Structure 1
Amino acid sequence: MPARLSNKKVTFFITAMLLITLAVGGITYAQSTGPQVKELSLQQAIDLAMANNNDLKLARIEAKKAERDLVLAEKTADDIDLDRVNTYDLGKLKWVAPRAAQMAVTLAKEKEQFTEKSTKLAVEGAYYNVLKAQKMLQIKKDTLNYAKDQLAIVQNSYQLGTVAKSDVLAVEALVAASEAGVTSAQNDLSLAVMKLNELIGLDIDTQLKLTDKFEYVPMKDVNVADEVYKALQNNIEIISVRENQAVKEKEYEVARKYYSGGVVYFDKAKLDAEAANVAVNKQEVATTLAVKQDYLSLKALEKSIAYKQKEVEKQREVVRIDMLKFKAGLLTNQDVKKSTIDLETAEQGLTELIYNYNQLKSKFKYGLFISGSTAGASSSAGAAY
């Protein structure tokens, strides 16, 4: 009759088996899960940026601070009785300072909206940049595959004695160069992903699977006149110079209460008002030009994309035929190398055009037409207060 196992031995045996099971299971789980990949749509990326972007948070804080300063300026003005406003400086405190503070509030709120729109534009740019990098990587991989096909053909021809060893070495060098191109494209993709992660507030090493496609979808008809009108109403540069104009007009109005022509304060206020008017006219022209220039660029890109699509289609056919001729011994490896490089160049060019087109579409989507000619109104208007 077999000896009975003691309770201690049974307990030890069960514990050991349990630990082994857990260890094996843990290894299997770790191997099966691997690095976590986050699926991300363009809208999800924008939502993350809106929640995590520090520039937007600061812009919101600045808007609240400007509202607080307006309350203080209005209180100071209210505390000055009209019968005590007998000097130009008191007049500015009474009437100009509140208007300047109101301008600061308006511009702070506009900056908040501008920061939100520009952040969305930046996210779209970074998102499309990842998609572009993925496409560029695929192009490089295709080039590498063509090179490997060439190598297989030339190695077979060498074994048959129809080509020299130098031909094999030349194609091997082409394969090595193509592999280096793939590595470089992979690095570009990794960097593009890290930049997108940084922008939307994710850990920069987060692996992403983008769900939107890299594609060319022509923009619906754009009414340039409507776009110009909206830009002249909503553009932050326009609002800035118009607010500055209003403050300078108020300052000139106050100066006329206490001085006449020939007095330095009067003349300065008058010249400042005139300069503000000129700045408004200048900015209106610059903004109109910016909108029309982007529209012309959009239409030019549509034509370029249509041409480049045909070129890519043609070059793919050229490569297909050249590979057949090369296999039949009718072309050299240099001929095929040239046609594959031409195809790669055409596909890269098309990819860049589509990326640029999508960026311009985003500018029209958010109404961001920045001319770069802002007159620095906010700093000059509030300098005296």
Structure 2
Amino acid sequence: MRPARALIDLQALRHNYQLARETTGAKALAVVKADAYGHGAVRVAQALEAQADGFAVACIEEALELRQAGIKAPILLLEGFFEADELALIVEHDFWCVVHSLWQLEAIETANVGKPLNIWLKLDSGMHRVGFHPADYQPAYQRLLASGKVAKIVLMSHFARADELDSSRSDEQLAVFQAASQGLVAQISLRNSPATMAWPNIPSDWVRPGIMLYGATPFDQPQSVADRLQPVMTLESKVICVRELPAGEPVGYGGGFVTDRTMRIGVVAMGYADGYPRQAPTGTPVLIDGQRSQLLGRVSMDMLCVDLTHVPQAGLGSRVELWGKHILASDVATRAGTIPYQIFCNLRRVPRLYCEG
């Protein structure tokens, strides 16, 4: 079988979850939306359920997949519901639900829900995606209470630039949140992964670790908590062909790389159809039989080329780590002009193998 595969280290996953808890002293919803950022939502949730305070997903389809797999822990719908008739499923499966828009509030007021809901009321504190305007936040809170259909309300917002350690925007958003929620008696949830790691001044009874759960840093510079993360996914494959090329020979589509001396080129069973970023340029790091080397030329759909010139022991069957414990996904993403969130989520066709350590 094709040797490309993704190894998922469940021990590292649990370490990162516990780090989020210990760093903040807060309860933590493990964010497993988008198939746990490409890591496999069901297996990730099963690995964490014994210690997790709950999980967060984008939509009801993702939540139902977890319930059908036997996950009984709380599950928060981060985008809430998209149609009013989803409220019946929310009640049936005891999902927690974000309310971010007036129409959702009105749907709850008019629905026959059967039992009270656990609502996370979202404020637009400055990111300007979804959430109530600050002037409408307290009235929305009061209407939810008055509806008689809510068991608990958690106050929440989301930060747009918490991954920028020198930006004042997070403090500005916090001030907006504190003004809009003044006097409301409820738990709060403000901290995503970067805020969990780097913004201790931001209060949060609940944190929402996402990218940090999978061991990748959201920052473009060293950060003390990020340095303690353990990569969860190792994307690897093998060398399936070796070429000895003289100087002046082009490699791959478009001839973007031309040998400047006699070189040994390894062809690896990995390409953009597997989720490896096509934009990754020559020089992007790889690990070949434990030794650092580099990508050469353009990434193809199913294959890419690496430099074996200075790895004399490498040849057919040599193991190649594309990212993982030694080649950080964040470094690959930076070289490719993207972020680790995207390269994880783009993983496809590659079988995931789960292990402990």
TM range (shorter): under 0.3
TM-score scaled by length of structure 2? 0.19
TM-score scaled by length of structure 1? 0.18
- Higher share in strand: 2
- Higher share in helix: 1
* Higher relative contact order, structure no. (Cα contacts within 8 Å, ≥ 6 residues apart): 1
Bigger Cα Rg: 1
